[in-house]
Amino acid sequence: MTVDLSADSIRSQCELPHLVFLYFFYQQQAIEQREQEDCLSGELVEVPDEYKGLVIGKGGETLAKLSKKTGSKVIRKKGEVYIVSGTEEQRRQAKVLIKIMIVS
């Protein structure tokens, strides 16, 4: 069995993992950029620290349900809750439901 140790062979074998890494790296960068833009354009919802787990839910599950129910987009970023899209009525409804969760 012969092993091809030519520069072209080695380069082609090394390029694919590097390209895969770059692809995922830039995908992650794009996700983080969108999240950052969402927070900048979003409205911070004040949630007391002791209720953040309840409002956010495991893995953001409660926020996802809240988003689906109201039609607004509610996200978590760095432990804070933001409403980043939706009509005024959808945003108002999301805030009301969050307040109900806190006082219940």
Q: How far apart are CA 40 and CA 18, in angstroms?
A: 33
In a shared domain, residues 47 and 29: no
In a shared domain, residues 61 and 26: no
Mean pLDDT (the chain, rounded): 83
In a shared domain, residues 87 and 75: yes
Position 81 pLDDT exceeds 60: yes
Q: What share of the chain is helix, strand, coil (3-state, %, to 5)?
A: 70, 15, 15
**pLDDT attached to residue 29:** 83
Position 56 pLDDT exceeds 70: yes
In a shared domain, residues 60 and 102: yes
- Each residue of 2-52: pLDDT tens digit? 656 555 665 566 666 777 777 878 888 887 777 666 556 688 999 999 999
**pLDDT attached to residue 70:** 96
How many independent structural domains does the chain possess?
2
- Domain span holding position 64: 42-104
pTM assigned to the model: 0.62
